[in-house]
């Protein structure tokens, strides 16, 4: 875990500061605004948020492993890497949800409740952090790290899925910030610690492609 802190300490600190700022000043105005958005916009983000479901990603990872475990070891290990990125980030987020016991926006709108009530696990009491955001960034980071030059697609899509949780008023911005951070860092850590061969394989592939693009002189 030390390399995570050394490499990403500034980003972790920035995420925590941003989440605290949102908690005290920004969360309620934002969620009140999105409670008033037109139905078609709300329906669009309802469709987008499905891609943050951990179940689909966990199943996809297991299917990749089951189908390719004998024919393509790299794809099979990618599937297991995807599975564990989603599972571990989800478990960490669920633990914090229970410890924090944060009221969801639904309780703010219905009972004007905002804040924390520690050691609670009712659905309305587990807003922080966002599990869908963690899953979106765990999946997005997994593929962005393994598929060369694909981050331009996977990171914005993960951000869109995470943002959808705010747009449909299921989470506050601070929930989404910290959930996204957990998803990203979990994938990075697991790749470095347990699946460095996948990273090495992609570097070799990129190197080979670069060599082919070099035009011999003379």
Residue 170 DSSP code: S
Q: Residue-wise over 16-41: b if at least 16 C-beta within 10 A, else e?
A: eebbeebbeeebbebbeebeeeeeee
pLDDT score for 201: 60
pLDDT score for 210: 46
d(Cα 9, Cα 140) in Å, to the nearest integer?
A: 21
Contact 45, 167 (CB under 8 A): yes
- Distances in whole angstroms, Cα of residue 128 to Cα of each of 14, 118, 158, 173: 17, 11, 18, 10
Contact 135, 82 (CB under 8 A): no
DSSP string, 98-163: HHH-BPPHHHHHHH---SB-SS--SGGG--SS-HHHHHHHHHHHHHHHHSTT-HHHHHHHHHHHHH
Q: Which mean pLDDT values do the consecutive 10-residue runs of the chain (218 residues) have?
A: 78 96 98 96 96 97 96 95 98 96 96 93 94 98 94 97 98 98 97 89 54 49
SS3 assignment, position 77: helix
Residue 171 DSSP code: S
pLDDT score for 213: 52
Return the sign of the alpha-carbon dihedral for residues 186, 187, 190, 191: negative
Q: Is 42 exposed, middle or buried (0-12, 13-18, 19+ CB in 10 A)?
A: middle
Terminal CA-CA length for the chain? 50
d(Cα 120, Cα 102) in Å, to the nearest integer?
A: 8
Contact 41, 164 (CB under 8 A): no
pLDDT score for 17: 98
Contact 181, 15 (CB under 8 A): yes
pLDDT score for 90: 97
Delineate the domains of the chain, giving CATH numbers in brackets: 2-20+39-199 (1.20.144)
- Distances in whole angstroms, Cα of residue 46 to Cα of each of 53, 94, 167, 169, 202: 12, 22, 9, 10, 35
The structure tokens 């009712």 sit at 122
């Amino acid at each position: 875990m030390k390399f995570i802190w050394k490499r990403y300490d500034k980003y972790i600190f920035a995420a925590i500061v941003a989440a605290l700022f949102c908690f005290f000043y920004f969360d309620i105005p934002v969620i009140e605004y999105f409670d008033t958005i037109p139905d078609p916009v709300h329906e669009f983000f309802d469709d987008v948020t499905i891609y943050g479901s951990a179940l689909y990603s966990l199943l996809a990872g297991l299917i990749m492993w089951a189908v390719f475990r004998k024919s393509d070891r790299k794809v099979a290990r990618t599937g297991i890497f995807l599975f564990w990125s989603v599972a571990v980030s989800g478990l960490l987020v669920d633990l914090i949800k229970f410890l924090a016991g944060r009221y969801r926006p639904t309780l703010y709108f219905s009972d004007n409740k905002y804040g924390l009530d520690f050691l609670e696990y009712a659905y309305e009491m587990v807003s922080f952090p966002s599990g869908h955001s963690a899953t979106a960034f765990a999946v997005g980071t997994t593929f962005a790290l393994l598929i060369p030059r694909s981050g331009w697609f996977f990171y914005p899509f993960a951000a869109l899925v995470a943002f959808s949780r705010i747009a449909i008023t299921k989470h506050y911005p601070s929930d989404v910030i910290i959930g996204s951070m957990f998803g990203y860092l979990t994938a990075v850590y697991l790749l470095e610690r347990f699946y460095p061969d996948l990273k090495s394989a992609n570097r070799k592939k990129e190197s080979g492609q670069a060599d082919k693009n070099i035009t011999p002189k003379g």
